[in-house]
Amino acid sequence: MQLTAATIREGVWQAVLAAGGDTPPAIEVVHAEAALPGLTVAAVPGMPGQWALRLPIPAAVLADGVQTFLIRPAGQTEVLGHFSIVTGVPLEDDLRAEIDLLRAELDMLKRAFRRHCLETMG
């Protein structure tokens, strides 16, 4: 399965899923470990194996910061795609904090890699 052509318009997330077959695939959109209600899966006319996905984004899941939504086969952990919605004034602080965290993790990985190289070569 491959997710393509994803957009958000007027509060509705839309995408096309190439999944083959004549039966609609069981797909879910997950936010904060909970599947969101309202996802529709419909065949794309004239395009066998292509499925139009539509999900009205519930206002209850929108809050300051970054909200990430995962698209996956229902009941599975494999992620086909994702989208994020960024809102609110604290956004600048959230992004800086995320970048700082990523830098710290990268520094930790560099130190561990260098230590590993010294141990295996020395």
For residues 15 and 73, state if they share a domain.
Answer: yes
For residues 48 and 79, state if they share a domain.
Answer: yes
Q: Which has more confidence, 86 or 35?
A: 35
> Which tokens belong to 119?
């141990």
For residues 57 and 73, state if they share a domain.
Answer: yes
Does the pLDDT at position 47 exceed 70? yes
For residues 66 and 78, state if they share a domain.
Answer: yes
For residues 83 and 93, state if they share a domain.
Answer: no
Number of helices (H), then strands (E), in the chain: 1, 8
* Separation between Cα atoms, residue 13 and residue 62, nearest integer Å: 14
Decide: pTM greater than 0.85: no
pLDDT-based confidence at residue 54 (cuts at 50, 70, 90) = very high
Does the pLDDT at position 8 exceed 70? yes
The gap between the terminal CA atoms of the chain, to the nearest Å, is 46
Strand partners, 28: 72
The region of weakest confidence among 40-44, 46-50, 57-61, 99-103 is 99-103
Average per-residue pLDDT in the chain? 90
Q: Total domain count for the chain? A: 2
For residues 11 and 37, state if they share a domain.
Answer: yes
For residues 106 and 120, state if they share a domain.
Answer: yes
Does the pLDDT at position 36 exceed 80? yes
- Contact at 8 Å (CB) between 8 and 86? no
Q: Determine the structural domain holding residue 51 and report its residue range.
A: 2-88
For residues 96 and 81, state if they share a domain.
Answer: no
For residues 82 and 105, state if they share a domain.
Answer: no
Candidates 38, 24, 27; CA nearest to 75 is 27
Average pLDDT over residues 11-30: 94
For residues 76 and 112, state if they share a domain.
Answer: no
Does the pLDDT at position 90 exceed 70? no
